Chain A
Amino acid sequence: MIDEVLAPVPPSRVFLAILLRDITVARRELPYFLIRTTMQPLMFVVVFGFILPKIGLIPGNYTQIMLPGVIALSLTLSAIQSVALPMVQDFGFTREIEDRLLAPAPIELVAIEKVVAAMLQGIVAALFVLPIARLIMGPIPGLTFRNAGLLLVATVLGGTAFSAIGLYLGTAIAPQQIGLMFSVILAPMIMFGCTYYPWAGLARVPAMKWAVLINPLVYVSEAMRAALTPGVPHMPTAAIFAALVVIIAIFLFLGLRAFDKRAMS
């Protein structure tokens, strides 16, 4: 049995096997995963989409403005956490990822697989929030077959961008400082991410309008706006998608480099 022929294993096969492992584990943890990543967006739906309009503090059509932002938030928060948290845990404490780093494939494949798995988890979270948001906030104008392609591209690009960011944060930040990631990076990102207001609206605060462009979440919010509420003013889709592609390229590059540093010594 030791003389078994040692043919190389195709990387695609290794990739799928590792992806299947992540899907198996994620399926088992689905309830916790959904609670962790959709609680915040769902609360916003209830408060801003239901309670505040009922009280009359904000106009009823505000839900139209914030619904795409809520979906964007579910997608990006879960994508970023689905890769950053396991990275911090695995490299910082449990070393569980070691068995995958010993797979007969380039180690970058393990990182790319995590990005893909996190992107899929982001989509699951967004799909979970969407019908609930629809229920509370009313009809979503962009949810038509004609718009499906646009929605799909927006979701995949947005999810990938944030899982790439998660890869970078999870591998570049020291495990002890991961708490900081939430307060210093995620909180401002959410607040200034055009999730609760359209980017076009920032025309009244011009400095802000340009400053927020460094915030990757802005493009995902605007992408969702373009796909789900096309009637609300939004950035041109070509510009949004180009920006997301650039973000993916930058953070994949940085993330893979940081991953390599953690995986190899």
Chain B
Amino acid sequence: MSAAIETRSLRKVYSPSNVVAIDSLDLTVGDGEFFGLLGPNGAGKTTTVGILTTRVRPTAGEAVVAGTNVATAPAAVRRRIGVVPQRPNPDRGLTVIENLVFHASYFGVPRAEAARRGGQLLERLGIADKRDAKVDALSGGQQQRLMIARALTHEPRVLFLDEPTVGLDPQARLGLWEILRELHKQGRTIVMTTHYMEEAEQLCDRLAIIDQGKLLALDTPAQLKAQAPGETIVDVTFDADASVVAGAAGALDGVSKAAARGPMLQVFSRRGGEIIPALIAAGEANGRAVRDIHLSRPSLETLFISLTGRKLS
């Protein structure tokens, strides 16, 4: 498997804030792979995609996309990639089909060929009836589809999607998943960022879990799930500081770990949700009433929590 993307010790520090967005990131994405970057908001996903799509200058390290270095040959990289942004940014001065035809023309595609491809893409993405509409007449989901069509007009080798389903209704999300699966089947390399576990699990061949700019885990969704702790994670929110409950909770039978953060108590339970009544009792015994309870079964989500101590979204 040859590499579509390779990063070595990639680092980005934004000035003047000196925020370290990503830190010594090493990633290899194979040709034809559907690769997911999973992490909460602010994890460094968008910065990573920004560097790979030549819009963010790396502070240190190297990134090669489709055999071309992003820092030394950005125009050649842009020739080879398609980008679907987090927030649709269609050209509002143009109609739907013109968005595709003009975008293709920026890549040297002759007009007639661009129109042919554009028509086909609109057909495939199910918005052919909006061909001559103004962009403003499209719904959010349709605009997102237009963004995907636009990213494909110049036949890129690697397609980048930054949180493509944020803000879409469930039906539109499923529709988009179908489209992405289809594109993947055709052999295209796809890199997608998301903070939806289910989405990452459903679509990606391999997943990189990143948080605070660092790579925490990298494997297939199945392997990652196998690494997840066997326990169910129970988050109990009390009406006041939870640290007084942590000791009692940790001593309960079936609890392997209990930690308090502010009013929240996080418990790793081998008995699943059965532990809940005992937790409530432990709280009451220490003068705390329960405000909220959240259960996470063994999954990518619990793996993520065990890696970072935080929930994904």
Given contacts A1-B155, A8-B75, A9-B79, contact A96 B92 (CB under 8 A): yes
- Comparing B105-113, B197-205, B230-238, the segment that makes contact with chain A is B105-113
Given contacts A2-B187, A101-B55, contact A14 B106 (CB under 8 A): yes
A17 at the interface (CB under 8 A from B): yes
B125 at the interface (CB under 8 A from A): no
Verify B57–A265 contact, CB threshold 8 A: yes
Chain A residues with CB below 8 A from B75, complex form: 8, 104-106
0/1 per residue, B66-98, Cβ < 8 Å to A?
000000001110111101010101111110001
Verify B78–A102 contact, CB threshold 8 A: yes
- Comparing A18-26, A152-160, A162-170, the segment that makes contact with chain B is A18-26
A28 at the interface (CB under 8 A from B): yes
In the complex, which of the residues B57, B93, B106 has the most CB atoms of chain A within 10 Å of its own CB atom? B106
A103 at the interface (CB under 8 A from B): yes
Chain A residues with CB below 8 A from B119, complex form: none
Residue in contact with A17 in the complex, picked from B92, B99, B105, CB distance below 8 Å: B105
Closest CB of chain B to A261's CB: distance in Å? 11
The complex places the Cα of A95 from the Cα of B92 at a distance, in Å, of 11
B254 at the interface (CB under 8 A from A): no
0/1 per residue, A226-254, Cβ < 8 Å to B?
00000000000000000000000000000
- A residues 95-111 touching B (CB-CB < 8 Å): 95-96, 98-107
B102 at the interface (CB under 8 A from A): yes
Verify B89–A24 contact, CB threshold 8 A: no
Chain B residues with CB below 8 A from A105, complex form: 75, 78, 106
Residue in contact with B155 in the complex, picked from A4, A101, A107, A264, CB distance below 8 Å: A4
A146 at the interface (CB under 8 A from B): no
Verify B155–A99 contact, CB threshold 8 A: no
Verify A265–B90 contact, CB threshold 8 A: no
Verify B92–A102 contact, CB threshold 8 A: no
Closest CB of chain A to B116's CB: distance in Å? 12
B171 at the interface (CB under 8 A from A): no
Interface size on A, residues (CB 8 A): 33
A31 at the interface (CB under 8 A from B): no
The complex places the Cα of A105 from the Cα of B81 at a distance, in Å, of 13
- Minimum CB distance partner of B102 in chain A: A21
A61 at the interface (CB under 8 A from B): no
B50 at the interface (CB under 8 A from A): yes
- A residues 128-178 touching B (CB-CB < 8 Å): none
Given contacts A4-B155, A6-B79, A105-B75, contact A96 B53 (CB under 8 A): no
The complex places the Cα of A21 from the Cα of B188 at a distance, in Å, of 29
Verify B106–A103 contact, CB threshold 8 A: yes
A204 at the interface (CB under 8 A from B): no
Verify A94–B56 contact, CB threshold 8 A: no
Residue in contact with A99 in the complex, picked from B74, B103, B108, CB distance below 8 Å: B103
The complex places the Cα of A101 from the Cα of B102 at a distance, in Å, of 13
Verify B89–A95 contact, CB threshold 8 A: yes
Chain B residues with CB below 8 A from A25, complex form: 93-94
The complex places the Cα of A28 from the Cα of B95 at a distance, in Å, of 12
The complex places the Cα of A165 from the Cα of B56 at a distance, in Å, of 26
A10 at the interface (CB under 8 A from B): yes
Closest CB of chain B to A257's CB: distance in Å? 14
Verify B106–A100 contact, CB threshold 8 A: yes
- Minimum CB distance partner of B99 in chain A: A99
The complex places the Cα of A100 from the Cα of B89 at a distance, in Å, of 11
Chain B residues with CB below 8 A from A101, complex form: 55
- Minimum CB distance partner of A264 in chain B: B57
0/1 per residue, B103-134, Cβ < 8 Å to A?
10111100000000000000000000000000
Chain A residues with CB below 8 A from B188, complex form: 2
0/1 per residue, B15-46, Cβ < 8 Å to A?
00000000000000000000000000000000
Chain A residues with CB below 8 A from B90, complex form: 96
Given contacts A6-B79, A25-B93, A105-B75, contact A95 B57 (CB under 8 A): no
Chain B residues with CB below 8 A from A9, complex form: 79, 106-108
Verify A103–B57 contact, CB threshold 8 A: no
- B residues 217-257 touching A (CB-CB < 8 Å): none
Closest CB of chain A to B110's CB: distance in Å? 10
14 A/B residue pairs, CB under 8 Å, sorted by A: A1-B155, A2-B188, A21-B91, A21-B105, A96-B91, A98-B85, A100-B106, A103-B78, A103-B107, A104-B79, A104-B107, A265-B50, A265-B56, A265-B57
**Assuming A99-B103, A104-B78, what are 5 further A-B pairs, CB within 8 angstroms?**
A9-B106, A17-B102, A25-B94, A105-B78, A106-B75
Chain A interface (Cβ within 8 Å of chain B)?
1-2, 4, 6, 8-10, 13-14, 17-18, 20-21, 24-25, 28-29, 94-96, 98-107, 263-265
Closest 8 CB pairs of A and B: A25-B93, A9-B108, A104-B79, A103-B106, A17-B105, A95-B89, A104-B78, A21-B102
